[in-house]
Structure 1
Amino acid sequence: MALQEHGKRRVAYYYDSNVGNYYYGQGHVMKPHRIRMTHHLVLNYGIYRHLEVYRPFPATFEDMCRFHSEDYMEFLRTASPDNLKQYNKQMLKFNVGEDCPLFDGLFEFCQLSSGGSLAAAVKLNKQKADIAINWMGGLHHAKKAEASGFCYSNDIVLGILELLKYHKRVLYVDIDVHHGDGVEEAFYTTDRVMTVSFHKYGDFFPGTGDLKDIGAGRGRYYSVNVPLRDGITDESYRFIFVPVMTKVMEVFQPSAVVLQCGADSLNGDRLGPFNLTLKGHGDCVKFFRDCNVPLMLLGGGGYTPRNVARCWTYETSLAVNMEIPD
């Protein structure tokens, strides 16, 4: 069945009620609880009535190893706060400790996040939905064999690899305040995935994402970076986003799009220095909804939990084209 032109999209939504129980530790800015807050708003606003709500199967060890190295996954599966003394060397090797603490249930948390993005990809591949949403996902910094920036398993890369089974070209767009380095790196040398990242650049984590970084080998010109400065507003963001993405869609012609909706690019975020409002952030979702290509919406950063929950709830309502009160 072709995409429904205007009105209603078939929207699949992936959520596991356990996700809010995981805790990075005292004083850590990453709070999985914000995903539960989002879910409760989606319920309370009645948006769920327009969604197909699913609890995804947790990704298996084998699923994760489609991208990640086995020794890294084995470490995440076996190391815990109780036995970390015997894993000192590996913690250094896999960058687990400071920003990426070893917390209780870490591997299960990765399984839920990745399971949601894999399920979303399968649903789009089967053409059983026009839009698939996984707010548990979007963990774009994780590398093949290394944790980074609060991310351990790269659900996005796993989801895109799944999409590539049925789609010749997949577009990845990242509106998190941080550069989508893990995803860019994974697909840096292929022309089947174009990655486009809008992010704060200059003395800011992870320090990559220069305008001059454009891909390599067959992937040359298939990585696009839009480095931005502090305080960008809706108006300036739209002024760049719309022409760039219009051109990308025209030239690359992807048959599926993955949009990472990190909410740390909103004003008032604990870590992000941008000045976007819900409306400006949501306009990026609207842009792709109106492109009528199969679309995966993922979470990501966002460190002022109530703002994150409002943002992702609003974007869920945009996916189903439902007006909700402010």
Structure 2
Amino acid sequence: MRSKDRISYFYDGDVGSVYFGPNHPMKPHRLCMTHHLVLAYELHKKMEIYRPHKAYPVELAQFHSADYVEFLHRITPDTQHLYSEELMKYNLGEDCPVFENLFEFCQIYAGGTVDAARRLNNQLCDIAINWAGGLHHAKKCQASGFCYINDLVLGILELLKHHARVLYIDIDVHHGDGVEEAFYFTDRVMTVSFHKFGDMFFPGTGDVKEVGEREGKFYAINVPLKDGIDDASFTRLFKTIISKVVEIYQPGAIVLQCGADSLAGDRLGCFNLSIDGHAECVRIVKKFNLPLLVTGGGGYTKENVARCWTFETGVLLESELPNEIPDNEYIKYFAPDYSLKIPHWHIENLNSKSYVGTIKMQVLENLRNIQHAPSVQMQEVPPDFYIPDFDEDKQNLDERVDQHTQDKHIQRDDEYYDGDNDNDHNMEDA
């Protein structure tokens, strides 16, 4: 057992101020609510808080195609009418709208996951948290399912510089298709996704029979579930499968996507998990004592998302949180009972004992096809990207700086950064 875990936590207040549109279920504002709850419970005093660097286009292009990154950089709500062909090509539209500061939003949440991976690689922490990350549907050349840049793939690529094998675990109600697809042909990443699977449920992939191909055959694991799964069935299945995966695969690091749309009562979800049940998965993974990168993901009932990720921050810190929510800027959202736990919902559980048993047997059978952890010829570790800061003296003072950029230089009073930043070239100073 290692002594108390060192935890790095990444947050930039700008990430919560973007707006997908009036009828869009994705509300980045939930990230501000989560952060304020973390502060209200004084959890920030037990971890290192960092503002992530904004990922550079060249970093995003480690996975995404350069033309797609360039288009995201260029497109704005005012100019999108000029690009109808490209919008279709890159799948921007209703689900993935073009909104103000879209590219910067991507840079921040992706930068947080990349920075988290680098801190783990450099052994500066044991666990790294980026609740703004976890956008698991984005593809190499396309947006998908409210996701534009796949920060998880970028974080895993970073971890692969130092680890022969990385395990990716996804407990979002939706299948982690973008991450699975990125690593479908390799044994260096094992992807395990627990999700709702059925006709007409997005993204439509994630059958238990999808297991990977070529060198990646049997290194993609899918646990397809039906409506209404409860804490007991979910956590039992999770513990059995993940324990076996870790034993056989022996990963050097784990990435855990904690999409909160698998909670009971989610606007887009259909599971029956309580916050305790969801957090039990975090507890199980933490016990393996491996370098751990934790992200957010889906979650569309925002007060429950904030409750869940705050509670799970507490789990990672081994801090018991009182059920009564302390006063904070968003306290009115937690009315009428102002408690951390969410009320029970009673969706009928369509996952019979025999169905869950069959899925478990099929997954364990697939795992038996892997004799042992694959060995990897490790090369010299490639360097982290280091892009020098712009020389302010050489900047053209006549160039107009827009209001948004000027606002950037003002410290926000709703953020909290403590202590010195020992990772200066990767982080903006708070």
TM-score scaled by length of structure 1: 0.98
2:208 equivalent in structure 1: 211
1:122 equivalent in structure 2: 118
User: What's the CA shift for 1:123?
Assistant: 0.3
Output the CA distance in 2 between the equivalents of 1:48 and 1:79.
Answer: 36
User: What's the CA shift for 1:53?
Assistant: 0.3
Output the CA distance in 2 between the equivalents of 1:96 and 1:14.
Answer: 27
Output the CA distance in 1 between the equivalents of 2:238 and 2:212.
Answer: 20
2:24 equivalent in structure 1: 28
Could you tell me which of 297, 305, 310 is aligned with 1:308?
Answer: 305
Output the CA distance in 1 between the equivalents of 2:30 and 2:181.
Answer: 28
Kindly tell me the number of residue pairs found equivalent between the two proteins.
322
Could you tell me which of 273, 283, 286 is aligned with 1:286?
Answer: 283
Could you tell me which of 69, 76, 79 is aligned with 2:75?
Answer: 79
* 1:97-139 C-alpha deviation (Å, 9 max, x unpaired): 0100000100000000100000000000001111000001000
User: What's the CA shift for 1:4?
Assistant: 2.0
* 1:258-315 C-alpha deviation (Å, 9 max, x unpaired): 0000000000100000000000000111011111000000000000000000000000
1:225 equivalent in structure 2: 222
1:140 equivalent in structure 2: 136
2:194 equivalent in structure 1: 198
- RMSD between aligned residues: 0.7
User: What's the CA shift for 1:184?
Assistant: 0.1
Output the CA distance in 2 between the equivalents of 1:262 and 1:55.
Answer: 22
* 1:58-96 C-alpha deviation (Å, 9 max, x unpaired): 100000000000111111000111001111100000000
Could you tell me which of 263, 267, 273 is aligned with 2:264?
Answer: 267
Output the CA distance in 1 between the equivalents of 2:194 and 2:70.
Answer: 33
Corresponding letter in the other structure for 1:55 = R
Partner-residue secondary structure (3-state), 1:189: coil
Output the CA distance in 2 between the equivalents of 1:102 and 1:267.
Answer: 30
2:2 equivalent in structure 1: 4
1:44 equivalent in structure 2: 40
Partner-residue secondary structure (3-state), 1:108: helix
Mind listing any 5+ residue stretches in structure 1 that lack a counterpart? none
Corresponding letter in the other structure for 2:248 = V
User: What's the CA shift for 1:41?
Assistant: 0.3
Output the CA distance in 2 between the equivalents of 1:26 and 1:75.
Answer: 24
Corresponding letter in the other structure for 2:16 = G
Partner-residue secondary structure (3-state), 1:18: helix
Output the CA distance in 2 between the equivalents of 1:320 and 1:167.
Answer: 24
Output the CA distance in 1 between the equivalents of 2:2 and 2:8.
Answer: 15
Corresponding letter in the other structure for 1:48 = H
Could you tell me which of 10, 32, 45 is aligned with 1:14?
Answer: 10
Partner-residue secondary structure (3-state), 2:83: helix
Output the CA distance in 2 between the equivalents of 1:23 and 1:4.
Answer: 42
Output the CA distance in 1 between the equivalents of 2:283 and 2:274.
Answer: 14
Could you tell me which of 153, 157, 161 is aligned with 2:157?
Answer: 161
Corresponding letter in the other structure for 1:116 = G
2:371 equivalent in structure 1: none
Partner-residue secondary structure (3-state), 2:16: helix
Could you tell me which of 82, 97, 112 is aligned with 1:101?
Answer: 97
Partner-residue secondary structure (3-state), 2:120: helix
Corresponding letter in the other structure for 1:4 = R
Residue 59 (structure 2) pairs with residue 58 (structure 1): no
Output the CA distance in 2 between the equivalents of 1:56 and 1:9.
Answer: 21
Output the CA distance in 1 between the equivalents of 2:5 and 2:267.
Answer: 34
* 1:15-56 C-alpha deviation (Å, 9 max, x unpaired): 001111100011100000001100000000011111100001
Output the CA distance in 2 between the equivalents of 1:53 and 1:81.
Answer: 33
TM-score scaled by length of structure 2: 0.74
Output the CA distance in 1 between the equivalents of 2:277 and 2:246.
Answer: 20
Output the CA distance in 2 between the equivalents of 1:220 and 1:101.
Answer: 35
Partner-residue secondary structure (3-state), 2:300: coil
* 1:144-190 C-alpha deviation (Å, 9 max, x unpaired): 00000000000000000000000000000000000000000000000
Output the CA distance in 2 between the equivalents of 1:279 and 1:222.
Answer: 29
Point out the structure with max Rg over C-alpha.
2
Output the CA distance in 1 between the equivalents of 2:266 and 2:198.
Answer: 18
Partner-residue secondary structure (3-state), 2:169: strand
Corresponding letter in the other structure for 2:2 = Q
Percent of residue pairs identical: 60
Could you tell me which of 284, 299, 302 is aligned with 2:296?
Answer: 299
